[in-house]
Amino acid sequence: MGMAAGQARLLSITARLSDNEANGQALSYSKQRLADETEQLNTAYNNALAATKLTVLTGFNGSIANYTDISYGLMTGYQTVACGKQYIVTDTKGRILVTDKQAKAFEAGNGDFNIFLAEINGNDPGYTQADLTATINDTDQTAKNESLQKIHDAWDAYFASVGITFEDEEHGLGNSNIEYGYQTFGGGNSLFNGYATYKLNGDVKAINYEGTTQEQRELYDYAVAITSYYYTGGANYNPVGSTANVNLQTANDVDSGYIDYLRNIFNKMASSGYYTEESEADTIKDDAWFEQQIKEGKLLLEYFSATEGDFVSTTISDDDAIQEVEDEREIARVEAKYNQDIAALEKKDQYIDLELKKLDTEHNALQTEYESVKNVVDKNVEKSFSMFS
């Protein structure tokens, strides 16, 4: 090999060695990145193993408590939580979160609990808080007398609560034989489409609400409900501006506890305000969304306290009916993804190891060739110096 050719060959091998080492360094960096990614996956996986979900007590199988994943419908439904409490959900301002149907029923009632009841279930049917055994159309005189007595008792309780007595001449109530009635307006005998009245000495006057407290309002609403139900013969309720008749059930026909449940919601809406979510499908009907809002404290829980006569605050950590448990489904999902991601990283790692091994073999061969060519070049140089010395 000539001196010039040897030098060119040596330079070529040197360049290839440099390229080989650069590629090896790049692969080493890639391997380090894979190690970092693996560590991140392990950290995320370990954190996911601590994933929890909220569950609610919904019953017992013998002595074993049954829990169901938390949801808006479960927490706010009627007798859906086995501890017997009635829960509501509020925002951080204290406003109760209600369904669109509840909001529309409240707005239709405009402060009247009777209309709220009638509207709440529409044709499913609606409800009234009337609990009479007969209407004016019934033939059982004994039952009718009992109903009339209930009406008198209800108005007595209301008048007493607002300080109006039968001797109050200002209201024309100086006669204990006062006759109550119900005057409709608009399209015929439409229940609640009118006002309660009393008749004295041939004069009929409306009984207007004159209270200021929640208790007084409830007494008035109840008296209106049984009066209107009796004198309209339990007629269907035809809301103003609507063509749909609502078949009513009285408190006699339904669980009276359900009426109380609705009353508590109605009173909370009236006292604290209320709001609805724009898209119920993506919010209160989405259990994952609801649970996240509760966990993050964006939605709060309250339960009705019979002692306080109002809703009081509770938390997921303090309430015995709610427990936070390991989320097996989430853990299984995360574990499956973790195994998939780890397998992909291991495949990349094996590829890098193979490439590094190839580069190492190539490097050894180049190094051997480099040494051989270098020896040849060095001997040629020595001969050249010996010839001209």
Q: Average pLDDT for residues 358-386, to the nearest whole number?
A: 74
Plot region of 32 (φ>0 → left; ψ -120 to 50 → alpha; else → beta): alpha
Q: Is the pLDDT of residue 246 over 60?
A: yes
Is residue 237 predicted with pLDDT exceeding 90?
no
pLDDT on residue 174? 47
In 3D space, the residue among 114, 121, 141 whose CA is nearest the CA of residue 229 turns out to be 114
**pLDDT band at residue 365 under the 50/70/90 scheme:** confident
Q: What one-letter code names the amino acid at 195? A: Y
> Whole-number mean pLDDT of the chain?
83
Average pLDDT over residues 89-114: 92
DSSP letter for each residue of 194-218: EEEEEEETTEEEE------SHHHHH
Worst-scoring range by mean pLDDT, 215-219, 289-293, 364-368? 364-368
Window from 87-91, 158-162, 269-273, 354-358 with minimum mean pLDDT? 354-358
Residues sharing a CB contact under 8 Å with residue 321, sequence separation 6 or more, in sequence order = 56, 57, 81, 82, 83, 85
CA distances from 35 to 40, 158, 279 (A): 9, 78, 44
What is the model's pLDDT at position 189?
45
Label each residue of 301-354 as H, E or C: EEEEECCCCEEEEECCCCCCCEEEEECHHHHHHHHHHHHHHHHHHHHHHHHHHH
Q: Are 197 and 204 in contact (CB under 8 A)?
A: yes
- Per-residue model confidence (pLDDT) at position 188: 47
Q: What is the pLDDT of residue 78?
A: 94
Burial of 43 (0-12, 13-18, 19+ CB in 10 A): exposed
Question: Would you give the distance in Å from CA 13 to the centre of its chain?
Answer: 70
Per-domain boundaries in the chain:
3-50+329-387, 70-99+276-326, 106-275
Of the CA atoms within 13 Å of residue 225, those in its CB half-sphere come to: 28
Concatenated DSSP letters of 106-156: HHHHTT-HHHHHHHHTTTS-EE-----S--TT-S-HHHHHHHHHHHHHHHH
Return the higher-pLDDT residue of 204 and 78: 78
In angstroms, the CA 302 to CA 98 distance is 13
Please calculate the CA angle 112-280-67 and round it to the nearest 5 degrees.
95
Mean pLDDT, residues 275-302 taken together: 94
Across 37-44, average pLDDT: 81
Measure the CA–CA gap between 222 and 153, rounded to whole angstroms.
11
Percentage, residues of the chain above pLDDT 70: 85
Report the predicted TM-score, pTM, of the whole model to 2 decimal places.
0.69
d(CA 268, CA 25): 69
DSSP 75: H
**Considering only CA atoms, which of 188, 224, 198 is closest in space to residue 111?**
224
Q: How far, in Å, CA of 37 to CA of 324, rounded?
A: 31
